[in-house]
Amino acid sequence: MPSSQPFRLMTHNPQWPQEFQQARSSILQATAGWLAEVEHIGGTAVPGALSRPVVDMLAGINDLQALQEVCNLIEGLNYCRVETPAWCDDELCGMLLKPRIGEATHSVLVVRHEQELWQRAIRTRERLNSDSAALEHLSQIKQEHYHASCSAERDMEQAKEIFFGSLLDGPS
């Protein structure tokens, strides 16, 4: 959930993929087979991207009846459950941030594996990895909101929502 708190933007850190792999391993081990897959998404998954230093992950679950159980198991890894982002529409999913207190360093969005939210997040990551103009446009949006006010995270998230909506609907 975006806040009015100050936020940081950073150029791509080559350690983020390793941090993802470590977090992915812990999550898969803790959830003991409940998850089909964990993917690295967001700006930290796109080399060259300007992003908040938060390793965003997408966790795919096959059985939505296990959503609460999976979220509880991930919470045991020092994550806390938070409100799901507006772009999740009305799909049943879970959002968790780590650490429980302080500035987030990791996020996990638990969704139905291979369904609409899953596919949209993966397509967005792939598009940003393959389309330098789209990546540059997103970086400009982030910079504009960052420079406008270091506490403009909510406005930046709304601008990103509009951008992502048009990204997948436009030409490749």
Q: What confidence tens digit (pLDDT) does each residue in 107-120 have?
A: 999 999 999 999 99
> CA–CA separation, 63 vs 74, rounded Å?
16
- Give the residue-averaged pLDDT of 86-107: 88
pLDDT tens track for 59-94: 999 998 999 999 999 999 999 999 988 878 768 899
CATH number at residue 39: 3.30.460.10
pLDDT tens track for 17-35: 999 999 999 999 999 899 9
**Residue 7 included in any domain:** no
pLDDT tens track for 130-155: 999 999 999 988 888 776 655 556 66
Could you tell me the residue range of the domain that residue 69 belongs to?
A: 16-169
**Residue 141 included in any domain:** yes
**Residue 106 included in any domain:** yes
**Residue 142 included in any domain:** yes
pLDDT of 160: 75
**Residue 5 included in any domain:** no
pLDDT of 78: 96
Does residue 166 register a pLDDT over 80? no
Number of domains within the chain: 1
| E strands present in 13-162 | 35-41, 55-61, 80-82, 94-98, 106-112
Q: Are strands 55-61 and 80-82 parallel, antiparallel or unpaired?
A: unpaired
**Residue 3 included in any domain:** no
At 1, the pLDDT band (50, 70, 90 cuts) reads very low
pTM: 0.84
**Residue 116 included in any domain:** yes
**Residue 61 included in any domain:** yes
